[in-house]
Every structure is written in C-alpha cells, then in structure tokens.
Amino acid sequence: MGTRTRGFANNISSPGGVFDATDLNGVVPATNIANSSLTNVTEVSPSLGYSISSVSSDPPAPDTGQMWYNTTSNVLKFKAVTAAGSWAAGGNLATARDNIAGAGTQTAALGIAGRIQGPNAAQSATEEYDGATWTSGGNLGTARYGPGGAGTQTAGLAFGGVNLANTEEYDGTSWTSGGNLGTARYGLGGVGTQTSALAFAGYGGNPAVNFAVTEEYDGTSWTSGGTMPTAKRDLGGAGTQTSGLAFGGQEPVTVTAATDEYDGTSWTSGGSLNTARRALRGAGTQTSALGFGGNNPPPSTGATEAYNGTSWTNDTSMSTARVSLAGAGTQPSALAFGGWTGSANSAATEEFTGAGAEITRTVTAS
C-alpha cells in the first residue's frame, strides 16, 4: 500500500491545551495499514472519482458514471444518461391484434379489445402488463375494435368502437357498464382518467363520415365539448380532459400532420408533426408527448416524434413498424403494443426510454 502521511501532535502548547500545528507531520509505516481493511468497498466518494467495486447486488441508487462488478450475475455494469431516446423489446401480447386500445403506464398497462384480421374478428380480451409480461384480465362485456381508451390498469375506461357508443369501466378485475357516448364511432382519440376522460374525432354513421365531435366523461355520463377544427379519424392523442392533445390522422381526403391542443373548452392549433401519418398512437401530456407508428401511405412506419408543447422533434424509431397499435405511459417512459405490420397482426411490445434518462447498462464484449 505504500506510506501515508500522519498528523500527530508532538507537544501541546499553552495556554488552552491546543495542538501545536507546526509539529503535525510524520509518516505512517506501510506495515501499519492492513489491506483487508479496504475489501468490500461498495463505492468511493465522488470527490475522489469512482473505482470499480465488486458487489453481490447492484447498488440501490448509483450515481451517473459509477461502475461496479456484480459477482452474482458476473457482469460489469455502469450508470449512464441516455443521449437519445431508445426502444427496447418487452413481453409479447398473448393475442396479436390491431385496433387495440391502451391505458395506464409502462409498468402497469392495459391492452383492451382489438381485431384479429383475416376473420376480421372483434375481441373482448383484456390483458394487463407489469413491465415484463402480459396476463389475462377480465373480458369486456361487448367485443369491439377501434375503441378509445383512458385511465389506469385498476381504473380503466373503454368507449366506442365499430358501430358502438357504449362505455365500460374496469376495476382491475371486471368491466361494468358506464354512460353511452353521444355519437357512436371508432378510430377516435381517448385520453384522461376513468372519471375525467376526453373522446374526440372518429369515424362512423351510415353513410360513414369523419367526426369533429368532442365529448367529456365525468364517470357517469358524456357531455359535449368544443368541436375540433377539422373532422378526422385514426389519430394520436395524449394528455388529460382539460389539457388534451390530438395529432395526425386521416382527414376526409388527406393524411394530416396537424396538432390540436384542448384547454377544456376549445381546440387551438399546435406545432405540426414532421411526418404526416394516420393510425399512429401517443403517450404523455400536452406539453411532453410522444407520437409513434402509423403510415402515409403504406407501408407502416416505426417513426417516433417527441412534442414539447410547441414543436415536434424526431426521435429513435420503433423496431417494429406498424399501424393501429396501442400506446400508454409518458414521454420518457412510453409503451407501444399490438398493431398491424402491413402483412400480419403484431403481438410485439416495445418500451421507450427518453433522452436524458438515467439507466443502468451492462458492459458487453464486441
């Protein structure tokens, strides 16, 4: 170990019995320092710089830049900050489907209803995600595809769908009937909570048309809100009942990049998407949203954009390009699942980690 400088007083000055600083010097012999006293060190103060420690389990709250060797898993790890957003594979849905609704967070999500193409079969299945795997939840009372979704895993909401106006409420185990939408439709946007939701736009009727209708749910019934500037369907959404966001979608003739912001009363224009597309999905809030997937025209895209309340910027694309998927979570921690790839229904789940997030990385050989 070498030698270490010591500081011991050789005399005590008077008055007061204080150390005489002029004599605080000397050397501690190396034989007086036991190497064993430095084993099992889990971290070194940041002021000294980090060393690589050997530990049986990962530190509970490592600092950025800290590195350690996990002796249980036999891997070298470090804490880093992401320079750009990234998608990582999560557990697959049990049933691959498109036109599925989503609710909840990245680690506690709901996958609601949907369609299996080929037989064009509407689904009533509900699946619950825990951040790793999907498990079966209670079935909807009415099978449907293209509904809106809102709320959490234990307080979810599903409304609308092809030729449907009915609403169902989820308690974490089973679905019960809620108040009907004023306008039956599908391909609509849905945001908010079980007792304070927003439904906007959509497609339906006979003959079928796009809608600019907005409705607000209070946990019992739907009432009319401010009309959207343009009738559209198959759009992305994020936010809350009083601070909603609608983006992209299919207008009567064209696919749009337009973004509209809702304040609880009326819609105003926001910054446009960089890529106009339909059948995309979203996550987050009005001032911190993520939009992903869609097409214009086919094939499908995995393109991802982040919104800051003013403008959209391109981020890392999903691994699986698809349309009519579901979204949940926040901008820095979003979830994408299900959809249609252009040739098949998808069961793929992807988890998004936003730029600037602190994450643990494993060092691998290349």
Q: Where are the domains of the chain?
A: 1-39, 86-353
Q: Note the pLDDT of residue 363.
A: 80
Least confident of 15-19, 62-66, 148-152, 353-357: 15-19
- Provide the phi-psi class of 302: left if phi over 0, else alpha when psi is between -120 and 50, else beta: alpha
| pLDDT (tens digit per residue) in 223-268 | 999 999 999 999 999 999 999 999 999 999 999 999 999 999 999 9
Q: What pTM does this model have?
A: 0.79
| pLDDT (tens digit per residue) in 19-45 | 454 444 555 565 655 554 445 555 556
Under 8 Å between Cβ of 246 and 239:
no
**CA-to-CA dists, residue 59 to 13, 53, 55, 319, angstroms:** 47, 10, 8, 31
Q: How many CB atoms lie within 10 A of CB 240?
A: 18
- Flag whether pLDDT at 61 surpasses 90: no
Domain 86-353: which CATH number of 2.60.40.10, 2.30.22.10, 2.120.10.80, 3.20.20.220:
2.120.10.80
Under 8 Å between Cβ of 313 and 68:
no
**Greater confidence, 321 or 25?**
321
Q: Note the pLDDT of residue 198.
A: 99
| pLDDT (tens digit per residue) in 114-159 | 999 999 999 999 999 999 999 999 999 999 999 999 999 999 999 9
Q: Note the pLDDT of residue 73.
A: 87
Q: Note the pLDDT of residue 9.
A: 47
Residue 119's identity, in one-letter code, is P
The C-alpha atoms of residue 299 and residue 338 are separated, in whole angstroms, by 16
| pLDDT (tens digit per residue) in 171-184 | 999 999 999 999 99
Strand 67-70 vs strand 53-55: parallel, antiparallel, or unpaired? parallel
Phi, psi of 96 (to 5 degrees): -65, 130
The C-alpha atoms of residue 121 and residue 123 are separated, in whole angstroms, by 6
| pLDDT (tens digit per residue) in 175-214 | 999 999 999 999 999 999 999 999 999 999 999 999 999 9
**CA-to-CA dists, residue 292 to 172, 229, 283, 297, 360, angstroms:** 27, 23, 9, 15, 25
| pLDDT (tens digit per residue) in 88-120 | 999 999 999 999 999 999 999 999 999 999 999
Q: Note the pLDDT of residue 30.
A: 57
Q: Note the pLDDT of residue 140.
A: 98
For the chain, what is the HEC assignment? Answer: CCCEEEEECCCEECCCCEECHHHCEEEECHHHCCHHHHCCCCCCCHHHCCCCEEECCCCCCCCCCCEEEECCCCEEEEEEECCCCEEEECCCCCCCCECCEEEEECCEEEEECCEECCCCEEECCEEEECCCCEEECCCCCCCECCCEEEECCCCEEEECCCCCCCEEEECCCCEEECCCCCCCCECCEEEEECCEEEEECCEECCCCEEECCEEEECCCCEEECCCCCCCEECCEEEECCCCEEEECCECCCCECCCEEEECCCCEEECCCCCCCCECCEEEECCCCEEEECCECCCCECCCEEEECCCCEEEECCCCCCCECCEEEECCCEEEEECCECCCCECCCEEEEECCCCEEEEEECCC
